[in-house]
Amino acid sequence: MRTVNAIAATSATDPLVRTTIERRDLGPHDVLIEIRYAGICHSDIHTVRGEWGDVAYPLTVGHEIVGQVAEVGREVTGHAVGDRVGVGCMVNSCRECENCRAGQEQYCLNGNTGTYASVDRDGTVTQGGYSTHIVVDADFVLRVPENIPYEKAAPLLCAGITTYSPLAHWNAGPGKKVAVVGLGGLGHMAVKIAVAMGADVTVLSQTLGKKDDGLAFGARDYQATGDPATFEALRNSFDLIINTVSAPIDMAAYLGLLRLDGTLVSVGAPPQPLPVPVFALFGNRRSFAGSSIGGIAETQQMLDFCAERGIAPDVEVIGADAVNEAYERVLRSDVRYRFVIDVDSLR
Protein backbone atom coordinates (compact mmCIF):
# COMPACT_ATOMS: atom_id res chain seq x y z
CA MET A 1 0.00 0.00 0.00
CA ARG A 2 1.10 3.55 -0.54
CA THR A 3 -0.36 6.62 1.13
CA VAL A 4 -0.97 9.57 -1.21
CA ASN A 5 -2.33 13.09 -0.88
CA ALA A 6 -5.94 13.62 -1.93
CA ILE A 7 -9.08 15.69 -1.51
CA ALA A 8 -12.05 13.88 -0.01
CA ALA A 9 -15.66 14.39 1.00
CA THR A 10 -16.29 13.35 4.61
CA SER A 11 -20.08 13.60 4.43
CA ALA A 12 -22.84 14.59 2.03
CA THR A 13 -22.95 18.13 3.38
CA ASP A 14 -19.45 19.15 4.55
CA PRO A 15 -16.93 20.79 2.22
CA LEU A 16 -14.24 18.60 0.68
CA VAL A 17 -10.98 18.55 2.64
CA ARG A 18 -7.34 17.69 2.07
CA THR A 19 -6.47 14.25 3.34
CA THR A 20 -4.49 11.11 2.45
CA ILE A 21 -5.77 7.89 0.91
CA GLU A 22 -4.28 4.44 0.29
CA ARG A 23 -3.44 3.03 -3.14
CA ARG A 24 -2.94 -0.70 -3.56
CA ASP A 25 0.44 -2.29 -4.28
CA LEU A 26 1.14 -2.67 -7.95
CA GLY A 27 -0.13 -5.99 -9.32
CA PRO A 28 1.40 -7.61 -12.42
CA HIS A 29 -1.21 -5.96 -14.70
CA ASP A 30 -1.31 -2.59 -12.91
CA VAL A 31 -0.02 0.84 -13.82
CA LEU A 32 0.89 3.49 -11.22
CA ILE A 33 0.00 6.94 -12.57
CA GLU A 34 1.33 10.21 -11.23
CA ILE A 35 -1.73 12.39 -11.74
CA ARG A 36 -1.22 15.88 -13.17
CA TYR A 37 -4.78 17.12 -13.72
CA ALA A 38 -8.28 15.96 -12.77
CA GLY A 39 -11.46 17.41 -14.26
CA ILE A 40 -14.53 18.25 -12.19
CA CYS A 41 -17.61 16.50 -13.56
CA HIS A 42 -21.17 17.21 -12.40
CA SER A 43 -21.35 13.49 -11.48
CA ASP A 44 -18.65 14.08 -8.86
CA ILE A 45 -20.95 16.55 -7.10
CA HIS A 46 -24.06 14.34 -7.32
CA THR A 47 -22.03 11.44 -5.92
CA VAL A 48 -20.34 13.16 -2.95
CA ARG A 49 -23.66 14.73 -1.97
CA GLY A 50 -25.34 11.32 -1.92
CA GLU A 51 -27.82 12.38 -4.60
CA TRP A 52 -27.30 9.20 -6.64
CA GLY A 53 -27.51 6.88 -3.63
CA ASP A 54 -25.62 6.27 -0.41
CA VAL A 55 -21.83 6.32 -0.57
CA ALA A 56 -19.12 5.40 1.94
CA TYR A 57 -17.18 8.39 3.37
CA PRO A 58 -14.51 9.54 3.22
CA LEU A 59 -14.71 9.49 -0.58
CA THR A 60 -12.35 10.90 -3.20
CA VAL A 61 -14.05 11.48 -6.54
CA GLY A 62 -12.77 12.47 -10.00
CA HIS A 63 -12.99 10.45 -13.22
CA GLU A 64 -11.30 12.73 -15.71
CA ILE A 65 -7.71 11.86 -14.92
CA VAL A 66 -4.46 12.53 -16.79
CA GLY A 67 -0.84 12.13 -15.83
CA GLN A 68 2.24 10.11 -16.54
CA VAL A 69 3.12 6.50 -15.89
CA ALA A 70 5.36 6.25 -12.80
CA GLU A 71 5.67 2.46 -12.58
CA VAL A 72 4.29 -0.62 -14.36
CA GLY A 73 3.59 -4.18 -13.21
CA ARG A 74 5.85 -6.90 -14.60
CA GLU A 75 3.30 -8.14 -17.15
CA VAL A 76 2.32 -4.72 -18.54
CA THR A 77 3.37 -4.27 -22.16
CA GLY A 78 1.18 -1.46 -23.52
CA HIS A 79 2.38 1.33 -21.24
CA ALA A 80 5.85 2.41 -20.14
CA VAL A 81 7.24 4.72 -17.47
CA GLY A 82 6.92 8.34 -18.59
CA ASP A 83 4.01 7.76 -21.01
CA ARG A 84 1.21 10.33 -21.08
CA VAL A 85 -1.93 8.48 -20.00
CA GLY A 86 -5.51 8.98 -18.90
CA VAL A 87 -8.24 7.21 -16.94
CA GLY A 88 -11.95 7.83 -17.37
CA CYS A 89 -15.12 6.70 -15.63
CA MET A 90 -14.29 3.02 -15.19
CA VAL A 91 -11.28 1.04 -14.01
CA ASN A 92 -12.42 -2.53 -14.64
CA SER A 93 -15.18 -4.82 -15.91
CA CYS A 94 -15.84 -8.57 -15.99
CA ARG A 95 -14.29 -8.94 -19.50
CA GLU A 96 -16.32 -12.13 -20.08
CA CYS A 97 -19.91 -11.04 -20.71
CA GLU A 98 -21.30 -10.47 -24.19
CA ASN A 99 -20.94 -6.69 -23.91
CA CYS A 100 -17.37 -6.77 -22.60
CA ARG A 101 -16.39 -9.15 -25.38
CA ALA A 102 -17.93 -6.68 -27.86
CA GLY A 103 -15.67 -3.92 -26.49
CA GLN A 104 -18.58 -2.20 -24.73
CA GLU A 105 -17.20 -2.48 -21.21
CA GLN A 106 -19.29 0.48 -20.11
CA TYR A 107 -22.32 -1.77 -20.52
CA CYS A 108 -20.74 -4.74 -18.70
CA LEU A 109 -23.61 -7.06 -17.77
CA ASN A 110 -21.96 -7.70 -14.42
CA GLY A 111 -21.50 -3.99 -13.82
CA ASN A 112 -18.28 -2.15 -14.65
CA THR A 113 -16.10 -0.95 -11.78
CA GLY A 114 -16.46 2.82 -11.53
CA THR A 115 -13.35 4.91 -10.96
CA TYR A 116 -14.77 6.00 -7.62
CA ALA A 117 -17.43 4.83 -5.14
CA SER A 118 -17.44 1.33 -6.68
CA VAL A 119 -16.45 -1.92 -4.99
CA ASP A 120 -13.15 -3.08 -6.48
CA ARG A 121 -12.19 -6.73 -6.98
CA ASP A 122 -10.27 -6.68 -3.69
CA GLY A 123 -13.39 -5.52 -1.83
CA THR A 124 -12.18 -1.96 -1.23
CA VAL A 125 -14.09 1.10 -2.43
CA THR A 126 -12.49 2.74 -5.46
CA GLN A 127 -11.16 6.28 -4.95
CA GLY A 128 -10.97 8.75 -7.82
CA GLY A 129 -8.62 11.26 -9.34
CA TYR A 130 -8.56 14.21 -6.94
CA SER A 131 -5.27 12.79 -5.69
CA THR A 132 -1.60 12.65 -6.59
CA HIS A 133 -1.47 8.99 -7.71
CA ILE A 134 -3.74 6.16 -8.80
CA VAL A 135 -3.19 2.46 -9.52
CA VAL A 136 -5.25 1.12 -12.43
CA ASP A 137 -5.36 -2.11 -14.44
CA ALA A 138 -3.38 -1.48 -17.64
CA ASP A 139 -6.34 -2.44 -19.87
CA PHE A 140 -8.29 0.57 -18.58
CA VAL A 141 -5.48 3.09 -19.09
CA LEU A 142 -5.69 5.29 -22.22
CA ARG A 143 -2.86 6.86 -24.22
CA VAL A 144 -3.03 10.67 -24.30
CA PRO A 145 -1.61 12.00 -27.59
CA GLU A 146 1.29 14.47 -27.33
CA ASN A 147 -0.49 17.38 -28.95
CA ILE A 148 -3.35 17.58 -26.44
CA PRO A 149 -2.16 19.63 -23.44
CA TYR A 150 -2.59 17.65 -20.20
CA GLU A 151 -5.11 20.00 -18.62
CA LYS A 152 -7.28 19.97 -21.75
CA ALA A 153 -7.07 16.21 -22.11
CA ALA A 154 -8.65 15.55 -18.71
CA PRO A 155 -12.28 16.45 -19.56
CA LEU A 156 -12.13 14.30 -22.69
CA LEU A 157 -12.12 11.22 -20.44
CA CYS A 158 -15.75 11.81 -19.41
CA ALA A 159 -17.31 14.81 -21.19
CA GLY A 160 -15.49 13.95 -24.43
CA ILE A 161 -16.34 10.27 -24.66
CA THR A 162 -19.90 10.73 -23.34
CA THR A 163 -20.68 12.93 -26.33
CA TYR A 164 -18.38 11.29 -28.92
CA SER A 165 -19.93 7.84 -28.46
CA PRO A 166 -23.56 8.73 -29.37
CA LEU A 167 -22.41 11.10 -32.13
CA ALA A 168 -20.40 8.25 -33.67
CA HIS A 169 -23.07 5.61 -33.06
CA TRP A 170 -25.84 7.66 -34.70
CA ASN A 171 -23.55 8.70 -37.56
CA ALA A 172 -23.18 12.44 -37.08
CA GLY A 173 -21.35 13.60 -40.20
CA PRO A 174 -21.70 15.46 -43.49
CA GLY A 175 -25.31 15.96 -44.52
CA LYS A 176 -26.61 15.36 -40.97
CA LYS A 177 -28.31 18.01 -38.90
CA VAL A 178 -27.43 17.70 -35.22
CA ALA A 179 -28.86 19.72 -32.31
CA VAL A 180 -27.06 19.93 -28.98
CA VAL A 181 -29.28 20.80 -26.02
CA GLY A 182 -27.41 22.71 -23.30
CA LEU A 183 -23.99 24.36 -23.66
CA GLY A 184 -22.17 23.22 -20.53
CA GLY A 185 -19.23 20.84 -20.04
CA LEU A 186 -20.84 18.06 -22.09
CA GLY A 187 -22.63 20.34 -24.55
CA HIS A 188 -19.59 22.33 -25.60
CA MET A 189 -17.70 19.10 -26.34
CA ALA A 190 -20.70 17.73 -28.26
CA VAL A 191 -20.66 20.84 -30.46
CA LYS A 192 -16.91 20.71 -31.13
CA ILE A 193 -16.93 16.97 -31.89
CA ALA A 194 -20.06 17.03 -34.07
CA VAL A 195 -18.63 19.95 -36.07
CA ALA A 196 -15.34 18.07 -36.52
CA MET A 197 -17.30 15.04 -37.74
CA GLY A 198 -18.76 17.28 -40.46
CA ALA A 199 -22.32 17.68 -39.16
CA ASP A 200 -24.41 20.85 -39.40
CA VAL A 201 -24.79 21.80 -35.72
CA THR A 202 -27.39 23.89 -33.89
CA VAL A 203 -27.18 24.72 -30.18
CA LEU A 204 -30.45 24.79 -28.25
CA SER A 205 -29.94 26.69 -25.00
CA GLN A 206 -32.35 28.31 -22.59
CA THR A 207 -31.14 31.80 -23.53
CA LEU A 208 -28.82 33.33 -26.11
CA GLY A 209 -26.29 34.16 -23.32
CA LYS A 210 -23.54 31.91 -24.70
CA LYS A 211 -24.36 32.38 -28.38
CA ASP A 212 -20.96 33.87 -29.28
CA ASP A 213 -19.20 30.89 -27.69
CA GLY A 214 -21.46 28.37 -29.42
CA LEU A 215 -20.80 29.88 -32.83
CA ALA A 216 -17.06 30.08 -32.06
CA PHE A 217 -17.13 26.33 -31.29
CA GLY A 218 -18.41 25.84 -34.85
CA ALA A 219 -22.20 25.69 -34.48
CA ARG A 220 -24.00 27.13 -37.51
CA ASP A 221 -27.09 28.14 -35.56
CA TYR A 222 -27.96 28.93 -31.94
CA GLN A 223 -31.54 29.17 -30.69
CA ALA A 224 -33.19 29.91 -27.35
CA THR A 225 -35.48 27.19 -25.98
CA GLY A 226 -37.02 29.78 -23.65
CA ASP A 227 -38.77 31.16 -26.76
CA PRO A 228 -41.69 28.94 -27.87
CA ALA A 229 -41.24 30.20 -31.47
CA THR A 230 -37.99 28.18 -31.61
CA PHE A 231 -39.94 24.92 -31.46
CA GLU A 232 -42.22 26.04 -34.29
CA ALA A 233 -39.37 27.26 -36.49
CA LEU A 234 -37.24 24.12 -36.05
CA ARG A 235 -40.02 21.50 -36.26
CA ASN A 236 -39.02 18.34 -38.22
CA SER A 237 -35.43 19.60 -38.65
CA PHE A 238 -32.87 17.33 -36.99
CA ASP A 239 -31.48 13.86 -37.62
CA LEU A 240 -30.01 13.70 -34.14
CA ILE A 241 -30.50 15.62 -30.91
CA ILE A 242 -27.97 15.17 -28.09
CA ASN A 243 -29.60 16.25 -24.82
CA THR A 244 -26.96 17.12 -22.22
CA VAL A 245 -29.34 18.72 -19.73
CA SER A 246 -29.87 17.02 -16.37
CA ALA A 247 -33.28 18.61 -15.74
CA PRO A 248 -36.63 17.43 -17.11
CA ILE A 249 -37.47 18.68 -20.63
CA ASP A 250 -40.77 18.85 -22.53
CA MET A 251 -40.36 15.60 -24.46
CA ALA A 252 -43.18 16.27 -26.94
CA ALA A 253 -41.68 19.62 -27.90
CA TYR A 254 -38.13 18.25 -28.36
CA LEU A 255 -39.20 15.07 -30.18
CA GLY A 256 -41.17 17.31 -32.56
CA LEU A 257 -37.86 18.77 -33.74
CA LEU A 258 -36.77 15.42 -35.23
CA ARG A 259 -37.16 14.71 -38.94
CA LEU A 260 -37.82 11.23 -40.44
CA ASP A 261 -36.00 8.48 -38.48
CA GLY A 262 -34.45 11.06 -36.17
CA THR A 263 -33.22 10.16 -32.69
CA LEU A 264 -33.17 12.12 -29.44
CA VAL A 265 -30.35 10.79 -27.22
CA SER A 266 -30.14 11.72 -23.56
CA VAL A 267 -26.72 11.84 -21.94
CA GLY A 268 -27.88 14.17 -19.17
CA ALA A 269 -29.54 12.36 -16.26
CA PRO A 270 -32.52 14.05 -14.60
CA PRO A 271 -33.30 12.29 -11.30
CA GLN A 272 -37.01 11.93 -12.13
CA PRO A 273 -38.55 9.93 -15.05
CA LEU A 274 -39.21 11.78 -18.32
CA PRO A 275 -42.77 11.25 -19.59
CA VAL A 276 -42.66 10.41 -23.31
CA PRO A 277 -45.88 10.93 -25.31
CA VAL A 278 -45.89 7.97 -27.72
CA PHE A 279 -47.67 9.94 -30.45
CA ALA A 280 -44.59 12.17 -30.66
CA LEU A 281 -42.61 9.01 -31.57
CA PHE A 282 -45.14 7.85 -34.23
CA GLY A 283 -44.65 10.98 -36.34
CA ASN A 284 -41.47 10.70 -38.45
CA ARG A 285 -40.76 7.23 -36.89
CA ARG A 286 -38.74 8.96 -34.17
CA SER A 287 -36.60 7.30 -31.48
CA PHE A 288 -35.73 8.23 -27.93
CA ALA A 289 -32.47 6.73 -26.65
CA GLY A 290 -29.85 6.95 -23.93
CA SER A 291 -26.07 6.52 -24.03
CA SER A 292 -23.44 6.05 -21.33
CA ILE A 293 -19.74 6.99 -21.77
CA GLY A 294 -17.98 4.66 -24.24
CA GLY A 295 -15.85 1.50 -24.37
CA ILE A 296 -12.10 1.58 -23.84
CA ALA A 297 -11.24 1.13 -27.53
CA GLU A 298 -13.73 3.83 -28.47
CA THR A 299 -12.32 6.17 -25.80
CA GLN A 300 -8.86 5.75 -27.36
CA GLN A 301 -10.39 6.41 -30.78
CA MET A 302 -11.97 9.62 -29.40
CA LEU A 303 -8.64 10.83 -27.95
CA ASP A 304 -6.88 10.16 -31.26
CA PHE A 305 -9.71 11.87 -33.19
CA CYS A 306 -9.51 14.98 -30.98
CA ALA A 307 -5.71 15.10 -31.34
CA GLU A 308 -5.95 14.73 -35.11
CA ARG A 309 -8.62 17.43 -35.48
CA GLY A 310 -7.11 19.76 -32.89
CA ILE A 311 -10.20 19.68 -30.67
CA ALA A 312 -10.00 20.24 -26.94
CA PRO A 313 -12.33 21.49 -24.23
CA ASP A 314 -12.21 25.04 -22.86
CA VAL A 315 -10.99 24.72 -19.27
CA GLU A 316 -10.49 26.78 -16.11
CA VAL A 317 -7.53 25.41 -14.16
CA ILE A 318 -7.83 25.70 -10.37
CA GLY A 319 -5.79 24.72 -7.30
CA ALA A 320 -6.89 22.06 -4.83
CA ASP A 321 -8.18 24.61 -2.33
CA ALA A 322 -10.62 26.09 -4.85
CA VAL A 323 -12.60 22.86 -5.36
CA ASN A 324 -15.47 23.70 -3.00
CA GLU A 325 -15.96 27.08 -4.62
CA ALA A 326 -15.75 25.42 -8.04
CA TYR A 327 -18.57 23.02 -7.05
CA GLU A 328 -20.81 25.99 -6.21
CA ARG A 329 -19.98 27.57 -9.56
CA VAL A 330 -20.70 24.33 -11.47
CA LEU A 331 -24.12 24.21 -9.79
CA ARG A 332 -24.75 27.78 -10.97
CA SER A 333 -23.55 26.85 -14.51
CA ASP A 334 -20.87 29.50 -13.99
CA VAL A 335 -17.94 27.77 -15.70
CA ARG A 336 -16.55 28.03 -19.21
CA TYR A 337 -16.57 25.12 -19.72
CA ARG A 338 -14.87 22.66 -17.39
CA PHE A 339 -12.94 23.07 -14.14
CA VAL A 340 -9.70 21.12 -14.01
CA ILE A 341 -7.71 20.69 -10.80
CA ASP A 342 -3.95 21.21 -11.06
CA VAL A 343 -2.93 18.22 -8.97
CA ASP A 344 0.57 19.66 -8.43
CA SER A 345 -1.19 21.86 -5.84
CA LEU A 346 -1.76 18.69 -3.77
CA ARG A 347 1.87 17.61 -3.64
Residues that bind Zn ion (CB under 5 A): 41, 43, 93-94, 97, 100, 108, 110, 158
Q: Which is nearer to Zn ion, 116 or 238 (CB)?
A: 116
In contact, 209 and 332? CB cutoff 8 Å: no
* Vertex 187: Cα angle to 183 and 190 (nearest 5): 140
In contact, 35 and 52? CB cutoff 8 Å: no
Q: Which is nearer to Zn ion, 21 or 157 (CB)?
A: 157
| Least distance between Zn ion and beta carbon 264 (Å) | 21
| Least distance between Zn ion and beta carbon 85 (Å) | 18
In contact, 194 and 178? CB cutoff 8 Å: yes
Q: Which is nearer to Zn ion, 42 or 133 (CB)?
A: 42
| Least distance between Zn ion and beta carbon 37 (Å) | 14
| Least distance between Zn ion and beta carbon 17 (Å) | 22
Q: In degrees rounded to 5, what are phi and psi of residue 42?
A: -55, -30
Write down the number of H helices and E strands in the chain: 11, 17
Q: How far apart are CA 159 and CA 253, in angstroms?
A: 26
| Least distance between Zn ion and beta carbon 192 (Å) | 17
Can you name the residues that pair with 135 across neighbouring β-strands?
A: 32
Q: Which is nearer to Zn ion, 110 or 171 (CB)?
A: 110
Q: Which is nearer to Zn ion, 93 or 223 (CB)?
A: 93
Question: Does residue 292 sit in helix, strand or coil?
Answer: coil
| Least distance between Zn ion and beta carbon 61 (Å) | 9
Q: Which is nearer to Zn ion, 108 or 249 (CB)?
A: 108
CB burial string 100-122: b at 16+ within 10 A, e below: beeebbbbbeeebbbbbbbeeee
Max CA pair span of the chain: 62
Q: Which is nearer to Zn ion, 162 or 225 (CB)?
A: 162
| Least distance between Zn ion and beta carbon 110 (Å) | 5
Q: How far apart are CA 127 and CA 182, in angstroms?
A: 30
Judge if the upstream peptide bond of residue 58 is cis by omega within 30 degrees of 0: yes
